[in-house]
Amino acid sequence: MSTPLVFKFGGASVKDADSVRNVARIIGLFTQRPMVVVVSAMGKTTNAFEEIVEHWSRNELGLARKKIDAIRAFHFEIIEALFEAPAAIKSNVEELLNQVSAGIDRIDQSYGEAYDFIVHHGELISTKIIAEYVGKSTPTVWQDTRLLVRTDNQFRRATVRWEETTHAIQKRIDLDKVNIVQGFIGATASGIPTTLGREGSDYTGAVFAFCLGADSLTIWKDVPGMLNGDPKTFQNTTKIDRLPFNEAIELAFYGASIIHPKTIQPLKKKGIPLHIKSFVDPTAQGTTIGGVDRATPEVPNFILKKNQALLQLKTTDLAFIAEHHLSSIYQLFADQGVVVNLMRNTATKALFCINHDPIIVPKVMGELTGLFDLELVTDVELLTIRHYRKEDEERETKGRAILLEQRTPDVVQFVFKTR
């Protein structure tokens, strides 16, 4: 039997009924091969579930339930457009939303545990709908990724336990059918739901490809392939046809939104190429990562990370920032899940450009108060240019007040206030 195809469809590719029909059409082009299809939550559903978590954390349970009602209405509208007899699938979705309602009544869990329990239902709902729809024309099975991807208990950023995961995936995946699985999620050995980090569905695809020995992973996007910048932000972007694994890892590290940072490592380990293709034009070439030593074409790459904060710490007695200071700061960041995107230190201060998480950052500030003099600048952005040229710098920073700049021979980064 041939090796399975592994496809991943993100939220934009399943945002409404027509999108679901398109996904089924693409799957139908490849039904001569065993297949695993990794699916994200529909549209902006993950954001909506995150709002529920925020309401739960503030004990705003009435607002949380209103958001659940909105999520129900959104999915029911899609179901009614897809199915002539929608009652059964509506019942499945209702059961999952009832689990969320029960979850927000619990107070005996940490923020991270509550986040993972609530937010992962977006993927469960989307895959229930898609498996039911694809199954109308193709032999299909819905698989519960919580039984397949085994992780530790680091909520919101769980680490995959590879041996247990490989065993579970190889045992449960049905190579005679299209297997619809959830991205982004897993579970501990005791069955507690976890998530792999925001935008982690790409990584889930890589996990399945690695464990099944797939000959490729295809991620379906709303762009023609991997561009050298987000076309919504940068003008005159260029499609990259081929890209080495190592270059893709570097771009993912700096925040290229089209690739999750963890996605490339398992693929590189087994030499499994990653294809990035358009779900609008599925027969177009797209981008292939792996199997080459240099990019084609070789162009600068532009990455803009929004919703950042610049945190400055000074020693209270103007003593030097020493190794033990940095060690304790990074340990706190690791414990709280702070994502550091740029760091620089001088004799008496350290500056960190971090993701501005509205829950985590205030907690960290509270922990550091009294130990350091703190300054937090919010509403900032981080621009990274890899393989930069002088004209690129001048064009992208013109008229911007630069708060922090850092450069190496290959990469230049700028932190500045949001316009």
- The set of residues, in sequence order, having a beta carbon less than 8 Å from that of 377 and lying 6+ positions away, is 309, 310, 312, 403, 417
Q: How confident is the prediction for the chain on average, in pLDDT?
A: 94
Q: List, for residues 270-312, the tens digit of each pLDDT value.
A: 999 999 999 999 999 999 999 999 999 999 999 999 999 999 9
- b/e for 104-130, b at 16 or more Cβ within 10 A? beeeeeebbbbbbbbbbbbbbbbbbbb
DSSP letter, residue 148:
T
Whether 124 contacts 148, CB under 8 Å: no
CATH of 301-417, one of 3.30.230.10, 3.30.2130.10, 3.10.105.10, 3.30.9.30: 3.30.2130.10
Q: List, for residues 16-71, the tens digit of each pLDDT value.
A: 999 999 999 999 999 888 999 999 999 999 999 999 999 999 999 999 999 999 99
CATH class of the domain comprising 5-215: alpha beta
Q: List, for residues 340-384, the tens digit of each pLDDT value.
A: 999 998 888 899 999 999 889 999 999 999 889 999 999 999 999
Report residue 215 as tokens.
């000959």
Residue 419: what pLDDT? 83
Report residue 70 as tokens.
């909105």
- Show me where the domains of the chain are located: 5-215, 301-417
